[in-house]
Amino acid sequence: MGGKMSGRNLIVYLNGNKTGILHESRSSALRFTYTDEAEAPISLAMPLNAVYGDEQTRAFFENLLPEGDLREMVAQAHRVSSNNPFSLLKEIGRDCAGAVVLGDDLLLNDTTSLQELFDVEQFVSKNDAILHYELGMRHSLAGAQFKTTVTIINDTYYIPSPFFPSTHIIKSANPRFQDLVANEFFCMTLARQIGLNVPNVSLLSSGSLVYLLVERFDRLIKSDKIERVHQEDFCQILGYLSSNKYEDEGGPRLIQIVKAIDRYSKQRAADLASLAKLIIFNYLMGNCDGHAKNLSMIHSSTGPYLAPFYDLVATSIYQGRSTRNATSINGVFDLESIDKAAIIKEFDQFGISGKRILALVLRDFKDIVSIGKEVARHKALEPYQATINLIIGNMSKRLDRLAKE
């Protein structure tokens, strides 16, 4: 029997170009097909001139969505199932990570004028996702933390739109961990001070609201025009769903990420060195959430490369939070059981001298404790000294452990 296959379709744009069709069958299976006009692939793992079935398609598109409670709230706001990626992306796929936009033929012709935000506190409060989507917002930002996006032009805040995509992420205080944004601000600022490539961050307030403002590295502002920069995380590159982002739940191992860098990066040596620094930094900070979704690659005209590092938080300081790492170090998951020998053996698997690269990283990090104490003096961190001192104290102990072994 002939005719069109039944189901639903969404147009997938990449950098404003009509690149493909995301199809959902009546049985909810997903398929992605490139259009004849496609100029670049949406994923390093999904080359042009091919049709992709449910497994590969779902891994890429599902990872564009929020996770956990935030996904549930978004689904409730739109009266769709939280287990249906297609339905969610149909509602909120206009401002995804990278340069992907999902919608209809008229989507990119939407030149609605920007709506200025006069009250950031009101915008971010009242149970984040519900308010934002009631206001008609259509962004999709992966991750489980309470956050939303804004467009900032000449220091003025606006609600994003398809024609004016977001430029910054706002992270508000987590109800269970009120100092989480200060924790992340400290870790991200310290990372920048010791030479890691991270986005610009600011710890700000609006009324009673304290929030972290993160500059998006997948956006460029040129003469008041906002350009999307394509990127994808390593769950997308390696074909894992967000529910499998942790290694001990069937997710990617570090060596798989290394092999992907080997295969795709235009600057393999520099990216592997940066990854090694990040691994040591996360260990020292006690960041046990360094999973594959918290690492990405930028697509550029000259070739892919490792994106700036993001979501750096000392997770282990919180009572009741697991000290089990998202990825193991030479098979060791427990943070406090990781030692110098395990790190060296892990680095050896990268095809580099583990002993040498660890020595180089520790040399670069030799002043990390004193630099951390300087960062802690930032005025915005004054109310959070107990938290910051705990992070610095733990960092110092772990650094001593590596130096003495």
- Helices 354-364 and 385-404 sit at what angle, rounded to 10 degrees? 140
Q: How many Cα atoms occupy the beta-carbon half-sphere of 179 within 13 Å?
A: 19
Q: Across the strands, what pairs with 103?
A: 11
Contact of 322 with 329, CB cutoff 8 Å: no
Residue 161 phi, psi (nearest 5): -145, 170
Torsion angle of C-alpha atoms 370, 375, 378, 380, degrees rounded to 10:
-140
CA distance 78 to 87: 9
Torsion on CA atoms 243, 292, 146, 59, rounded to nearest 10? -50
**What is the rounded CA–CA span in Å between residue 200 and residue 192?**
9
CA distance 262 to 327: 19
Q: Which amino acid is at 19?
A: T
CB atoms closer than 10 angstroms to residue 68? 13
- Bridge partners of 202, per DSSP, are 213
What's the burial of 125, exposed, middle or buried (CB within 10 Å: 0-12/13-18/19+)? middle
For residue 303, the 8-state DSSP code is -
CA end-to-end span of the chain: 71
Note if 119 is an active site residue: no
Q: Which of 361, 208, 202 is nearest to 276 (CA)?
A: 361
The answer to whether the beta carbons of residues 54 and 23 sit under 8 Å apart is no
Catalytic residue among 128, 218, 271, 289: 289
Q: Rounded to whole angstroms, how far apart are CA atoms 372 and 390?
A: 11
Q: Dmax of the chain from CA atoms?
A: 73
- Active-site residue set: 289
